Structure 1
Amino acid sequence: MTDIDIAVVGAGIAGLTTAHRLAREGHRVEVFESEDTAGGRMRSARIDGYTIDRGAETISPYGYPATWEFIEELGLERRGELHRIEHPVGLWQDGRTHPWVGHPKSLLTGAGLSWRGRAQMVRMLVSGRGKGAVDPDRPEESAYGGMTLEQYGEKYGEELVNRCLGPVATAAFGWLPERSAASPMLAVMQGTRGIYRWQTYRDGQDTMARTLAERLKVHVSTPVQRIEREGRGVRLGFGDGTELTARAAVLALPAPQISALHPGMPEEERAFVEASTFTTMIRVGVMLDRPLEPRRSGRRPHLYAFVMAAGEDSLLSGGTAEHNKCPHRVPPGRGLVTLLVSPRRAAEVYDLPDEQVLDRVLDESERFIDGMREAYVGHQVTRWRHGLPEAPPEALALRGAFTRREAQPIEYAGDWLYMRPSSEAAIASSKPAADRVRSWLADD
């Protein structure tokens, strides 16, 4: 006999969707979260009428099937919880922004690309319909193998990588083009058809997490310190010295946190888990007394976000004008800008006090957004040591064997399993995790 059927460790969106899938089948499922609120990297803070996301999130109408499955089941769209983003992303290069990065319109406007660069983009999009297509569920099987994003640029178009794929990957994914494989990034661009018709949650990126947490048994402020296999089941040890047994468990945590928690991990799993590295993420939400955005000419459209072209030496990799992304998240007439510290520079400021991080970020932001210090009324600094999963070629080479292994009583969920730092990848991971747990229990 065990205390419960299934324990899910981690109440981020991967853990919550996994728990929901298993609970709706009648299993006794409980979720354990070390923080005081569910949501993980998809939490939001609410301060003086401002809603500040602690991660980054957008929803594409294409290439996000797992997300839309849950949106429909939970009735989020019917309840008016979604908002269509009207404004484009801009590329900062040579002292100005170029709108429509990654959008089909960039083929006409350029978005910082020359005609040669636009031709490279067309070739990339066309390749997604043939042998160059990347299966988002099996990126390791693509024709690009372990080619990094930088190597992809050398072969298929440096301008495309330096002025589109690379800047988007660095700002949105926290990736360094020389470290991460190209195939997961190409899977995203091919699946979503670029940065096109994206949406967001009206009242914060934690909308789905809050809805799911209300339907599940979630224990917050309950850190799990160890997990081990015990016969056909598992035993969990908690920070207060108590223990719990379960028939199975799912670890829905960033890969770098798993080895210490699960020292008895089978060797056929350990290689992939330890190769699945993460980058550090630092986000600074700056509350403003007026709406501001990156500098632009009067004829150019408003921007909801900007990314830095390769070669722009900056502390920042980009930022988001949240009031242009979704005006419901700020008080009327106010502004909210999120500034992203570059993964190349994050180590410089990670351990500094919040006020010093803010000071450096505000100084840098004045290069791109006029009047930030004058309009400043408050801030929130968010740091994630394990913020965004990379796609190192070493992990990509190990992924196939990891996904084909036999089901075990301790399974895994998270965006790192698909090597794509997105809510879609995290939610998608819940299905194979639930399937594998179900298979294990069926043989019990």
Structure 2
Amino acid sequence: MADCDLLVIGAGISGLSMAHYAAAAGLDAWVLEQDQRVGGCLHSQRFGGDLADFWLELGAHSSFNSYGQLLAILEAAQALDRLQPRVRLPFRLFAGGAIHSIPSQLHWIELLGAPLRLLGASKTGCSVADYYRRIVGRRNYAAVFAPAFDAVICQPSGGFPADGLFRPRPRRKDVPRGFTLAGGLQSMAEIIAARPGIRVERGQMAQAIDRDGGDFVVRTADRRFTAPALALAVPVAVAASLLQTAFPELAQQLAQVSTATVESLGVALPRSRLRLPPLAGLIGRDEAFYSVVSRDTAPDPAWRGFTFHFRPGVLDEAGQRACIARVLELPVDGLKTAHVVSKTNRLPALRAGHGQWIGAVDRLLAGQRLALTGNYFAGVAIEDCVTRSLAEFIRLQREG
């Protein structure tokens, strides 16, 4: 007898949103999560101790009122009143050892023709570099836009699909334009995980997927789970590995997507130790880091926090700490008394023409009680993940 109606592997926002749609349809959804923490790339580091309720985002850090599917889930959980507006602060550019305003780095004459070049321009099939270099000009692209896009997706962005960035969506006027929650964005995952009809099995890493008649069988180190429908909401490389035996052609297709590694270090310091003016974050140009994300958009009276997203393999931990001290204008040993936490993130490195790859995957999934969701389909934004989960759940329902 099956354990549940839908078994989901991965308790990030993709897996939990899939479970939400199943539970809302009256199905019993179980979610297997290898960690004790839910959220995946929604990783809000909560320090506790003398930092009380202070937190830092080690993964995704932005959520907006244009995220309609995400907001609908939170609304169903009666959690919209828990959203807190983020303070609107500027991003700056860090280059040559100094902080610059973004307008000061632009070549304005080169930008004059940009509005005309936008007319009729299509992102479909274009890479970020091909599309934006034509619009803003080569010097502007190299000086500002390429580093900014690298910062957005925490990887070299030139080959990324242009239509995978800044997707236009309608905004909800009843929700703050940019928002977070007490405890950070991970709180959204925790809200969904606690919904009726959803059961999260923590500390359960999927090791193998088999079939038993009409059911899927997922094995972990010490348990066996069965369900008539299965959704994988794990990094693309993990999905490819898990599907090698039961779905070799699909696994081969998934293996075509490369992965980008990001080395992230978060630091929390007393406000009194920092002279840096409040800001949303820093964009690194020709630096060892892609970006610095600040907690200033959700200010704390006593503490400030920054997450540095470093390029992989450029600096060791000592070098990363020295870089942080330099950027924050601290003494070389200034981080000795700071609260420091590290995490390695892995993101899909999508490429122009990715839509054709999605089409090939969806054709292989057609007619199967297997769903794939995650940040390697429409894009890496939270809403992209939720939208994919909804589309896959609708397909499972339609195909019966």
Q: Same fold (TM over 0.5)?
A: yes
Query: How far apart are the structure 2 equivalents of 1:164 and 1:403?
Result: 36
Alpha carbons 1:276, 1:395 under 8 Å: kept:
no
Deviations 1:357-392 (A, max 9, x none): 1x21221134432126436422001112xx222212
Farther off after superposition, 245-254 or 268-277: 268-277
The 5-angstrom pairing of residues 44-59 of structure 1 reads 44-47=44-47, 48=49, 49=51, 50-59=54-63
Deviations 1:248-293 (A, max 9, x none): 1000001011122111354653354222222112111111122677
* Aligned twin of 1:107: none
**Of 167, 170, 181, which residue of structure 2 is paired with 1:201?**
181
Query: How far apart are the structure 1 equivalents of 2:134 and 2:15?
Result: 39
What amino acid maps onto 2:23 in structure 1?
A: A
| 1:165 to 1:229, Cα distance in 2 relative to 1, 3 A | farther
* Aligned twin of 1:98: 100
| 1:162 to 1:438, Cα distance in 2 relative to 1, 3 A | same
What amino acid maps onto 1:166 in structure 2?
A: A
* Percent identical residues: 21
* Aligned twin of 2:244: 263
TM superposition score normalised by structure 1? 0.79
Structure 2, unmatched stretches of 5+, are none
Query: How far apart are the structure 2 equivalents of 1:33 and 1:367?
Result: 38
* Aligned twin of 2:322: 363
The yes-or-no answer on 1:67 pairing with 2:67 is no
* Aligned twin of 1:434: 393
* Aligned twin of 2:105: 112
Secondary structure of 1:336's aligned partner: strand
Alpha carbons 2:56, 2:184 under 8 Å: kept:
yes
The yes-or-no answer on 1:288 pairing with 2:288 is no
Secondary structure of 1:380's aligned partner: strand
> How far apart are 1:116 and its partner, in Å?
3.2
Alpha carbons 1:85, 1:200 under 8 Å: kept:
no
> How far apart are 1:121 and its partner, in Å?
5.4
**Of 306, 320, 323, which residue of structure 1 is paired with 2:293?**
320
Deviations 1:182-229 (A, max 9, x none): 2212x43x5599xx9533334211011010111221000011111123
**Of 332, 356, 373, which residue of structure 2 is paired with 1:413?**
373
> How far apart are 1:162 and its partner, in Å?
2.4
C-alpha RMSD of the superposition: 2.7
The yes-or-no answer on 1:304 pairing with 2:270 is no
Alpha carbons 1:286, 1:338 under 8 Å: kept:
yes
Query: How far apart are the structure 1 equivalents of 2:55 and 2:192?
Result: 19
The 5-angstrom pairing of residues 217-232 of structure 1 reads 217-232=199-214
| 1:192 to 1:278, Cα distance in 2 relative to 1, 3 A | farther
TM superposition score normalised by structure 2? 0.87
Query: How far apart are the structure 2 equivalents of 1:191 and 1:113?
Result: 27
| 1:427 to 1:73, Cα distance in 2 relative to 1, 3 A | same
What amino acid maps onto 1:319 in structure 2?
A: V
Aligned residues: 386
What amino acid maps onto 1:374 in structure 2?
A: G
What amino acid maps onto 1:397 in structure 2?
A: Q
Secondary structure of 1:429's aligned partner: helix
* Aligned twin of 1:378: 339
Alpha carbons 2:239, 2:251 under 8 Å: kept:
no
| 1:117 to 1:20, Cα distance in 2 relative to 1, 3 A | farther
The 5-angstrom pairing of residues 1-400 of structure 1 reads 1-47=1-47, 48=49, 49=51, 50-62=54-66, 64-79=67-82, 81-99=83-101, 110=103, 112-119=105-112, 122=115, 126-127=118-119, 132=122, 142=124, 145=125, 147-156=126-135, 157-185=137-165, 187-188=166-167, 190-191=168-169, 197-215=177-195, 216-240=198-222, 242-264=223-245, 266=247, 269-290=250-271, 302-309=278-285, 312=286, 314-322=287-295, 324-328=296-300, 332-342=301-311, 346-349=312-315, 357=317, 359-371=318-330, 373-374=333-334, 376-384=337-345, 387-393=346-352, 395-400=354-359
Secondary structure of 2:26's aligned partner: coil
